[in-house]
Structure 1
């Protein structure tokens, strides 16, 4: 296999990608595999890629921001569903300051925070009426959508502010 490097262009930067990163380790004619002892193993590469897709640290930051925004919005406007404005504002700010795209983290954080808030807010009705799980699922889905949308608009504003004219 060749060991050449391929250059790829991203909007914001130029980075080098090793062409062998995408090899699956097929056997050569002499029975050896492509991977050498100095290259990371398959599980290490999967772990690295998984951290690029879902970062626990970014999720924790997004969750704390979402909960803080939800509590602040509910304190200012004591109406049902007002916490969605706080989740949107928090994920908007997270998208504005985050260097990488973190849609999955913000969507899950928004869904968890708003779903849990709805379940706690309507705990008696949910327990006596028997529809607590569907209520939390719908609220979590709405929170996911609002979280991802807020992050999208924050990233869009960041891109517009940092792009050269």
Structure 2
């Protein structure tokens, strides 16, 4: 019965405009009873989804961090001698590390960084062959596409590991 009274009071406050300007999702305490927690949880999920969706889909800062991670992984992968195409495995590693460290999902930035840096890596490493007549555009597209996919896969698995590490054990 007390739950119903609290709900009526909350509805009356909402209609009268006596809102204190406090977001329910931010100040929700763990000490509330189950029924009140469920009703507040539904309200906070609506508020949280609107605040999360109001953010930008693209961030230049995140793109620069993604480039740093992917290029750093490519450099580390390129240090392995004898084995061919280790730069591509470094792209996977860079995307993984960026996904593990990033607080938000940044697939667009990671894919863009992986595609551009992978294509540039292939193009720059084969400049003498391109000068001899190899088609550089096709090479850039193939290497960029493969690197884009590897960076996105790495980012996905990094996000998955981060989610598993930060989830509460019940």
| TM-score in same-fold range (> 0.5) | yes
Within a 5 Å distance, the mapping from 1:2-41 to structure 2 comes to 7=43, 9=45, 15=48, 17=50
TM-score normalised to the size of structure 1?
Answer: 0.69
Compute the RMSD of aligned alpha carbons.
2.5
Q: Which entry has the higher C-alpha Rg, 1 or 2?
A: 2
TM-score normalised to the size of structure 2?
Answer: 0.67
Contact 1:96 1:151 survives alignment (8 Å) = yes
Q: Does 1:134 align with 2:145?
A: no
Within a 5 Å distance, the mapping from 1:3-152 to structure 2 comes to 7=43, 9=45, 15=48, 17=50, 52-152=56-156
Please identify which structure carries the higher strand content. 1
Alignment: residue pair count:
128
- Shift in CA distance, 113/162, structure 1 to aligned 2, threshold 3 Å: same
Q: Which runs of 5+ in 2 are unaligned?
A: 1-22, 24-41
Q: Which runs of 5+ in 1 are unaligned?
A: 22-47
- Shift in CA distance, 137/8, structure 1 to aligned 2, threshold 3 Å: farther
Aligned equivalents of 1:78, 1:128: Cα separation in 2? 25
CA deviation after TM superposition for structure 1 residue 15, in Å: 1.4
